[in-house]
Amino acid sequence: MILSTFLATSAIMSSLALGAADHWIVTQLQTLTISRMDPIVNPNDVSGHVHRVVGASNFNWHLNDPQTQLDAACSSTIIGDDKSNYWAPQLYYRHPNNTFTPVLGGVRVYYFNKNKDVKPFPPGLNMISGLAMKRDLKATQSLGVKISCDHGLQTQWLPNGTSHPGGCGSISMGIYFPSCGLANGATSSSDHFSHMAWPQSYNGPNLVDDPNGIVCPASHPIKYPTIFAEFNYYLDADHPWRNDECTLVLSNGDCTGNNFHADFVNGWVPQTLKDAISQCGYGKGVGDKLDACAPLKKTKSEPKSWECRLDGKIPDEEVGLWRPISKLPGCNPLWKSGVSQKPDCASTSKPGYVFPNAYFENLKFRNKIPVALGELKDDADITKFFPSVGDNGAGRLGWWGSEGSNKDQLTKGTWQAIINSLAPGTNPPAIGNMYTKPDGGEETVEPQGQDSSSEDESTPTETHEVPKEGSTPPPVLAAQPIDDDAETTSPASTPVEAEGAESTSAKYCKRKKRGLIPRAGEVLSSHLSRRSRRRSIHG
């Protein structure tokens, strides 16, 4: 408590001293994959838990060399020249019957330039913020974790039934990355953290660590931009708030949020990042008005980010996108509050890598996330499977490689053909753990929601924060991204601000839903309610 007040004071002071024009915001980053890949921590392997990944299309099970990273066919950020990858543990929803579904949402990334000497990241720089395997809120690695409910107070905790008995509609899993580098320009370190350090701000006469601070300590003198990555998640009628413990759980089993962490690999085209810092950096920040920043505007394209697809293989296992899964992938039993040690498991299977054969699409968040589903054999099959996430029929499956700008690099075909086509010379772990459909099982996921026609999809954009009844709005740190969110109401012409999409039900969310405008030419059959689709299939 004392510490946060103390940091709040220093943050307010730095904000007053420097003004707000110190950052740009990249909005609407699309999810490339939700899978167990982590090229920093588990190179050439399957990672311990599921990550949600955005950015360069050639994200892989090993780190790309800097030039390969830049050669990615596309980026799922709206800035084509940002071929970086950003990833974090996926947030899961635990159903009352102890099955799990990934929660959907958007991602936004802030770049703060809080002094005039900010330098661009060196090629290949990679780092982790936060702790994945142990709980230690006082550890320096945990300083950047900023989680909030409905864009309220930022803490190191997932909202839970005690802290938020009235519920949350949106959960923002935010994290600052350290932004001070070693004098020798080191791009990594064995713990993936110590080549970096937190910047500092003045608290009175004293400099203290501040994730969004202004100056660097002598040990790590080079100031890079401060990245704040915000992985946003939205509950809905099929995934309503409950006050039970572990309704929300990170993919590593953590029910508290204390183990939130995120990874970054720099893939910015060097000249673009350099120009953006000098033209739209300290004192010249443009917020989310990226068209006002020539170096960013140059390759800005929302359609291209929506069309960007993962290029490679994914672990051959279900992550919950088309039906709830009975356990979190990997060895990740629920890790409850008050349990200091991460619980272990008797045994875990490790999937091999395969090319995806289908994608999960959610119209609300525009995600087209590759999946490997052995059950899907032909075109009749693919319409039979109703994804378990995405409210009221707004989700569907499609054949992988059948859409997308980089489809030449994707694989379409029968399951066996896809397996047979694994590129020679690559070194994935052995293929195993292939899902085989049990005999005679009816695979249809039961519908839970109502017809989508009951939703008002034309509600105008509305981002005004309505404080909860009966609670004093908590103090919010000045100079924190929360302020920017309020400023950045998307104009009516913006097709959809995925990060801001809200549930309609006042029970889940106190704020109004933003407009949902399906992309032009989108096959709207996927808007059919699951109920009517099921009727047509069973009837």
Binding site for ligand NAG (CB under 6 A): 95, 97, 99, 155, 157, 160, 162-163, 245, 255-256, 324, 337, 388, 445-446, 448
DSSP 333-375: --B-TT--SPP--S------EE---EEEEETTTTEEEEE--TT
The 10 Å Cβ neighbour count of residue 400 is: 27
Planar angle of CA 503, 504, 509, nearest 5 degrees: 60
d(CA 70, CA 388): 35
d(CA 399, CA 147): 35
Q: Which residues are CB-neighbours of 37 under 8 A, at least 6 positions away?
A: 46, 47, 51, 53, 59, 60, 61, 87, 314, 315
Q: Which of 452/490 has CB closer to ligand NAG?
A: 452
Q: Which of 2/430 has CB closer to ligand NAG?
A: 2
d(CA 123, CA 126): 9
Q: Which of 99/301 has CB closer to ligand NAG?
A: 99
Q: 243-274 burial by CB neighbour count: b if 16+ within 10 A, else e?
A: eebbbbbbbbbbbbbbbbbbbbbbbbbeebbe
d(CA 97, CA 323): 13
Q: Which of 31/388 has CB closer to ligand NAG?
A: 388
State how beta strands 91-94 and 100-102 pair. antiparallel
Q: Which of 256/259 has CB closer to ligand NAG?
A: 256
Name the region of 392 (left: φ>0; alpha: ψ -120 to 50; beta: rest): left
Least separation in angstroms between CB 33 and ligand NAG: 23
Q: Which of 39/324 has CB closer to ligand NAG?
A: 324
Q: Provide the token pair at 243.
A: 């006050």
Q: Which of 80/159 has CB closer to ligand NAG?
A: 159
Which residue, judged by CB position, is nearest to ligand NAG in the bound state? 337
Q: 21-53 burial by CB neighbour count: b if 16+ within 10 A, else e?
A: ebbbbbbbbbbbbbbbbbbbeeeebbbbbbbbb
DSSP conformation class of 201: E
Sign of CA dihedral 215, 219, 223, 228: negative
d(CA 229, CA 41): 19
Q: Which of 26/373 has CB closer to ligand NAG?
A: 373
| 3-state SS assignment for residue 31 | strand
Least separation in angstroms between CB 395 and ligand NAG: 13
Least separation in angstroms between CB 264 and ligand NAG: 26
Q: Which of 432/474 has CB closer to ligand NAG?
A: 474
Q: Which of 69/388 has CB closer to ligand NAG?
A: 388
Q: Which residues are CB-neighbours of 425 under 8 A, at least 6 positions away?
A: none
